[in-house]
Amino acid sequence: MFNSQQGNFLATLRYRDFRVLWIGQVISQIGNYFFYIALLIKVNDLTHSTATIGILLMVFSLPQAIIGPWAGAYVDRLNRRWLMIISDLIRGIAVIFFVDMTSSHQLWLAYLLALIMGSAASFFIPAKDAVIPLLVPQEELLSANALSQTMQVAAMLIGPATAGFIIAWAGLDTAFLVDSGSFIVSALSIFAIANAKIAHSLPGEPTVASGATSIWRELSVGFHYVMHSRLLVTLTAMIMVVMLGAGALNVLWVPFFQDEFHVGAEGLGMVDAMQGVGMLLGGIAVGNFTGRWSHEVILSFAVAFVGLVTVALGFLPAFWMYFPVMLFFGVALPPANSAAMTLIQVHTPNEVLGRVNGLFSSLVSVSSLISMGLAGALGALISIRLLFIISGAVIAGAGFWGHFFLRSSPDPTNIES
């Protein structure tokens, strides 16, 4: 139940390569929020359809669900530095083309660009998650992952509010250009990492370039490792259930606030910024003051709290009430995300971490896709408030279930299939 080894933010930031990666990702995440708000507003203005928003977000997640495990195999065997850099450059170029989308008849362009950006992200995310354990010692991993969450905090504090005012002043297209520039900054920060371990494929097995047989063999190694780890199986199932409930929030929050309270870009940005303040507090707490609790306990209680807060979103009658509730919502996100990622990193050898991350992300993405599709369709049929209540109950249930069933167990040391 208790964890005796716990780092802190200052100690973790002393590692120069991690610090460089973290700063680059802060800037990239700020740009992503510019893009996210601009895209949802543009699609909602052009279509006034929650179903269309849901489909578009599903298309973004589709590559992760389909090619995630294959991407993880490449992450374990190829140059992780260049995989991340190329992924950033592809996304930085693709996002510019959203400027050309000016009518609902051009939604095909949005779907195509979503596939391209989602495919690039499918390589970047498992590569980044596999690189972090190479940049800090194990006792600093929870703190490093918490810092990665506070990276999103900085983005949520600066990105949505700033994006809202810039969009109102300079237009939606400016937000897409800002996001493009942020991907370039991220690529440059990764290039500046000095640790040679991230620039070479790992030894011990044939490279994925050796053929289809090798690809399937390496995928089977990752699958074999996950299926023989009780902790990883339980963790994956828990997060998949959480994502079944989270889809309604991802798809419906912009239409909900715009239609229910007639809120514009500035108001949407401020609501997101309040969540960012909460994430700042939660990130500081998990990165510095949670050493007495196990990662399993942190994860299960944080998820249950997120679910209960999501239920509350369905009952609030006034717009101003969402500010303190979104603050509490944000507080629980860094502990949940940081604990989940740390559990995977601690219980998985680095030579299979890309494949395990890829498989985990793929399964979670499938769950998210189902959730977003249901939320987009149901949002046009029943009350969004009711969907928030149902989603929160699902999330809270996953947290309480995890508290009883998520237990550490010996993991296989033999990673061969």
Transcribe 211-237 into DSSP letters. -HHHHHHHHHHHHHHHHT-HHHHHHHH
CA 357/CA 407 separation, integer angstroms: 20
Examine residue 282 and state whether it is found in any structural domain, yes or no: yes
Is 4 contained in some domain? no
Residues sharing a CB contact under 8 Å with residue 327, sequence separation 6 or more, in sequence order: 274, 275, 277, 278
Examine residue 416 and state whether it is found in any structural domain, yes or no.
no
pLDDT computed for residue 84 by the predictor: 93
Q: With respect to residue 380, please indicate whether it lies within any of the assigned structural domains.
A: yes
Cβ count near 380 (within 10 Å): 12
Query: How many structural domains does the chain have?
Result: 1
DSSP 321: G
Residue 93: its pLDDT value, please? 95
Domain of 211, CATH number, reads 1.20.1250.20
pLDDT digit string, tens, across residues 351-401: 788 888 878 878 887 887 788 778 777 877 888 899 889 989 999 999 988
Residue 412's pLDDT is 47
pLDDT value for 337? 84
Q: Which of 114, 58, 133, 91 is nearest to 357 (CA)?
A: 133
CB atoms within 10 A of CB 189: 22
The Cα 81–Cα 267 span in angstroms is 38
Q: Assess if residue 411 is contained within a domain.
A: no
Residues in the chain, total: 417
**Does residue 41 belong to any structural domain of this protein?**
yes
* Mean pLDDT over each residue of the chain, to the nearest integer: 81
Q: What is the DSSP string of 61-118?
A: HHHHHHHHHHHHHHHHHS-HHHHHHHHHHHHHHHGGGGGG--SGGGHHHHHHHHHHHH
CB atoms within 10 A of CB 14: 11
Tokens of 16: 């120069």
CA distance 133 to 348: 11
Task: Please identify every stretch of the chain with a pLDDT value under 50, giving residue numbers as ranges.
Answer: 1-5, 203-210, 410-417
pLDDT at 124: 92
Domain residue limits at 229 = 9-405
**160 lies in a domain?**
yes
Contact present, 208 and 77 (Cβ < 8 Å): yes
Does 2 fall in a domain?
A: no
CA angle 61, 186, 153 (to 5 degrees): 70
**pLDDT value at residue 116:** 93
Question: Hey, how many other C-beta atoms are within 10 angstroms of the C-beta on 201?
Answer: 16
